[in-house]
Amino acid sequence: MDIPIVENVLKLNDEVAAINRKTLKEAGVYTVDLIGSPGSGKTSLLEATFKAIGDKARIGVLVGDLTTARDATRISKWCPDVVQINTGKGCHLDANQVRQGLDRLKLDELDILVIENVGNLICPVGFDLGQDSKVGLFSVAEGDDKPAKHPYIVMEAELLLLNKMDLLPHVTFDMDIFKEDISRINPTVQLMEVCATNGWINEWCDWLLAKVGK
Amino acid sequence: MHEFSLATSMVDLVKANCPEGEELESITIEAGPMRGIEPQAMQWAWEAATQHTPIAGCKLQLIQQPWKLHCPDCQTSFEADDMFTDCECGCDKTSPVDCDNLRLVRLTLKDKVGVSDS
Ligand SMILES: Nc1nc2c(ncn2[C@@H]2O[C@H](COP(=O)(O)OP(=O)(O)OP(=O)(O)O)[C@@H](O)[C@H]2O)c(=O)[nH]1
Ligand SMILES: [Mg+2]
Ligand SMILES: [Zn+2]
């Protein structure tokens, strides 16, 4: 006998994400889920962001990492409010892990929370964490075909960053293809070109500060 | 391996929805192409996630949906095997819509032995 039903497979995750969203909203924290391939420059972007934003806004970080604490250690040089979440074998953060991470932060003292997701362009995208927006990070070193191969993040992101622009002269990267594929998958997503290691990230910082009215 | 965490989510959901005293033959999941699910990996993950649970042996029917594309020119939607498929009207600005479904749509129960319809 068949029993027809319609249930979202990630219902339980989404319920916890809704609780996170409420908690963050009540604390007045704008939350970004930062998603990018391994080594695309997520932690470097955060380091540069702290350097550029200084005390204009207080930013907390949750960092998901398979096994190490290296990213959290790097970020803690800039920011006291960093919580490391080891996912073990998990290729993405889920809402429950974020829930536990939030308990360890003084949310009332923060303006912005950035969640550095596990380096991966597919798995993290489908798991709502309770963020306000997803930001996708690509880098020119990964090649111009990454949006076409990973359309889900392009579809779901409010903002896409293209990092390592300093390397553009040294790699084969067709900017037209990259941009055309993106605008076909998601005609409304915003795209910014950045370079985390030389601090060329002003547009991104302005975007972030505007979200919290600073 | 996001297939494994999807499988564990499915197990929880199935347990919550299965009528008491019934045994499951299979479950049916519908997945949109955005989800990037690899069918073989999904089957392995399902077997691993159901092992040693009350629903061990229950099969997974995975329905992978085609791309659904929207044409901004003629305002129609159509199905395609490739995400970058132009519209019949010639428009090459089609974009995916409703491609991220991930739903449990059916539970199939085992027939109970010894119970006849007459
Ligand atoms: N040339 C150049 N290198 C960069 C840039 N941003 C990051 N890198 C380098 O890229 C490497 C990886 O950077 P990370 O910031 O650790 O990348 P990540 O995305 O946090 O990596 P995972 O957390 O391991 O996924 C480091 O060697 C960085 O120095 C950039 O804008 N230009
Ligand atoms: Mg990192
Ligand atoms: Zn058309």
Residue A205: CATH number of its domain: 3.40.50.300
Domains in chain B (CATH in brackets) are 2-17+24-109 (3.30.2320.80)
Q: What is the Å distance from ligand 1's center to A43 Cα?
A: 7
Q: Strand, helix or coil at B43?
A: helix
Query: Is B112 near chain A, with CB under 8 Å?
Result: no
Residues 6+ apart with CB under 8 A from B55: B11, B14, B15, B18, B24
| Residues A60-71: tens digit of each pLDDT | 999 998 888 899
Read off the pLDDT of residues B37-54 as tens digits, 9 standing for 90 and up.
Answer: 999 999 999 999 999 999
Q: Which domain does A43 fall in, by range?
A: 29-211
Closest CA to A210 of A110, A111, A78, A134: A111
Whether A157 is in a domain gets the answer yes
Nearest in space to A110 (alpha carbons), one of A81, A130, A141:
A81
Mean pLDDT in residue range A183-200: 97
Residue A79: count of CB within 10 angstroms of its CB: 16
In the numeric block, the tokens 């690509």 are attached to A138
| Number of structural domains chain A divides into | 1
Give the separation between CA A68 and CA A45, rounded to whole angstroms. 19
Q: What percent of chain B has pLDDT over 90?
A: 81
Residue A21 belongs to a domain: no
What integer is the mean pLDDT of A199-206?
97
Nearest CB neighbour to A122, from listed B19, B36, B72: B36
**CB A192 within 8 Å of CB A207:** yes
Q: Quote the pTM value.
A: 0.94
What is the interface pTM, i.e. ipTM, of the complex?
A: 0.85
B72 shares contact with chain A (CB less than 8 Å): yes
Q: Which of A5, A8, A122, A189 to mutate to test the interface with B (most CBs of B within 10 A)?
A: A5
The pLDDT-based confidence of B118 (bands split at 50, 70, 90) is: very low
